[in-house]
Amino acid sequence: MFYSTMILGTFISISSYTWMGMWLGLEMNLLSIIPLMSTSKNSMAAEAAIKYFITQAMASTILLFSLILMSMNFFFLMNDLVLATMYYSALFIKMGAAPFHFWFPEIMEGLSWTNAFIMLTWQKIAPLILITYPNFNSFKYMILVIIFCTMISGIMGINQTNMRKILAYSSINHLSWMLSSMLFFETIWILYFLIYMTITFNIIIILKFLNIFHLNQLFSTLNKFPLIKFFFMLNFMSLGGLPPFLGFLPKWLTIQMLINADLFILALIVIVMTLITLFFYIRIVTLSISMSTSNKNLINKPNYLKKFNLIYMINFIILMMLLFATIIFNIN
């Protein structure tokens, strides 16, 4: 029931013709995900739900106040930049973009993998779409948030050992790329988001089935399943945007768009800071390769192989998508 109302709230928000309908859709989405976060018996899940509710309620208050000012035509009393800052800041808080990310990694640490996937993907759809609605002159503010996202995600994520926090800072880094693609060409971010969501699903389904939450668990468990380890490393490098994997394609398109718009400095900053993020992706992959174990009892058990047939199938489809996307891009 709560899943359906959560999805419905997002669709109401992005399809509404009025500001109030948009806000009500966001609140329906919020009130639906709180029970989903609280269903776990883990005390950290309840704490995460409370933190998430308080943060989102604060963002909703700021958003509602800015929408009231816009609907009452208070533009002549207030600077356009002030309203734009209030509106965009509220949405950035909701999606966990830097420098409003203070709540995001902490909440991710207390979630199950299913709820973590929802938080990393679905909960960002409505705020990202709503950013494109008003015609504010907020170009400089958007660039500032993009720089914060790419810098903070690289610096803060490099020392993390919790897989959920690593994916949280990775999500902040990908937000910088999506916001960059929104500056001029709004449809590129949709392709970026779909590819990001697919790769994230691939990684999380492996972590969920193997019950992995920390790096030490990752290294010890993946060595028992060489094929799954191979798929995990491919997806992790793809998430980092390492060529020639699928995750590099939307980054390539975004870089081309920034260069064509003469935003060379922004493109350089985003690329350099993303290299820091890519560093801890590659470090995890190389450590996974270098660490081996002699315990191979689980590999030969057919029950374990049957359990991961879905993982094999999904990862094979994603690898085929890379070839298809490369062919289409070269044709165009």
Q: How far is CA 210 from CA 35, 226, 302, in A?
A: 25, 13, 16
Helix (H, G, I), strand (E, B) or coil at 47: helix
Token couple for 43: 């005390």
- Is 0.75 surpassed by the pTM of this model? yes
Residue 263 sits in which domain range?
2-331
Determine which helix (DSSP H) or strand (DSSP E) holds 306, and give its type and residue range.
helix 302-307
Report whether 81 contacts 144 (CB < 8 A). Answer: no
Reply yes or no: is the peptide bond before residue 35 cis, omega within 30 of 0.
no
Helix (H, G, I), strand (E, B) or coil at 240: coil
Largest Cα separation within the chain, whole Å, is 73
Report whether 179 contacts 97 (CB < 8 A). Answer: yes
Per-residue pLDDT of the chain (332 residues; tens, 9 = 90+): 788 999 999 999 999 888 889 999 999 999 999 999 887 667 788 889 999 999 999 999 999 998 888 877 655 555 677 888 899 999 999 999 989 999 999 999 989 999 999 999 999 999 999 998 877 777 889 999 999 999 999 899 888 889 999 999 999 999 999 999 988 766 889 989 999 998 999 899 989 988 999 988 888 888 888 888 888 888 888 898 888 788 888 899 899 999 998 999 999 999 999 998 888 888 888 888 876 554 444 444 445 555 556 665 666 566 556 555 555 555 44
Q: Name residues whose C-beta falls within 8 Å of residue 309's C-beta, 6 or more positions apart in sequence.
A: none
Q: Name residues whose C-beta falls within 8 Å of residue 9's C-beta, 6 or more positions apart in sequence.
A: 25, 26, 27, 28, 29, 30, 31, 32, 126
- How many structural domains does the chain have? 1
Cα 327 to Cα 19: distance, rounded to the nearest angstrom: 42
